[in-house]
Structure 1
């Protein structure tokens, strides 16, 4: 996912954590069950998910298998996603927050990877 070149005026910048779709879908479920999840993007091919997180997250993001870049904030309901070539998995109106809390996202992604490794070993 690449950040859109044209930032909508008035929107607050945020960061975007991108992860492989398999781990991201598990993390979305974990966050929905235990905490809150902000808007989540998916790329059109279904390879990656992107979690909108507060600005400044990219500076300290260090989780292997993911990337964090700056993009532009969650638009109001009904607007196009802030990243070109993407759609909403969890739209702003369906999210339980404006962004996902980075420490909770990091923990959910780690748990998702551990869970998926255990599932893969059992197959």
Structure 2
């Protein structure tokens, strides 16, 4: 119950448009991590076309990574990819504009219940090959599906 209360308090902060950090993941979504360079931005533009507006993506300017929110359970079936890592939980969330001090923000804000579809994202990343790959940043923290 304490986890539920914490989540509800955080979500109330989000609805009040406060700068709130919410522990997400679990059954809400998984996260695909890529670089945030030109190729990754091209992948976001491609996903804009595939989806009629890309699902939510967080950019963290501290480490030059994009965090693509994909359907829950994606990490369980994610095959190793040379330009992306799939995790079962996202980073802490910030605002919708790049911060003055490096940190995460919503590169593509969340819109209702839309997530980035994993299969088209995987294809876009394979074709566009965003560099540098995120694997080194997660070397000690990943499971077998990285």
Whether the TM-score (by the shorter chain) exceeds 0.5 is yes
Q: CA RMSD in A?
A: 3.0
Q: How many residues align?
A: 99
Superposed structure 1 runs of 4+ greater than 6 Å apart:
none
Instruction: Find the aligned partners of 1:99 and 1:71 in 2 and give their Cα distance.
Output: 14
The structure whose residues are more often strand, as a share, is 1
Q: Give 1:39-58 correspondences, 5 Å limit.
A: 39-45=56-62, 47-58=64-75
Of 15, 18, 34, 1:19 maps to 34
Residue equivalent to 1:59: 76
Gaps of 5+ in 2: 9-23, 95-102, 132-146
Q: Deviations over 1:12-45 (max 9, x none)?
A: 4210000011232111011112334210000033
Gaps of 5+ in 1: 1-5, 73-79, 117-123
Instruction: Find the aligned partners of 1:103 and 1:59 in 2 and give their Cα distance.
Output: 14
Instruction: Find the aligned partners of 1:9 and 1:35 in 2 and give their Cα distance.
Output: 29
Residue equivalent to 1:3: none
Larger Rg: 2
- Higher relative CO (Cα under 8 Å, sequence separation at least 6) belongs to 1
Of 81, 87, 93, 1:69 maps to 87
Residue equivalent to 1:120: none
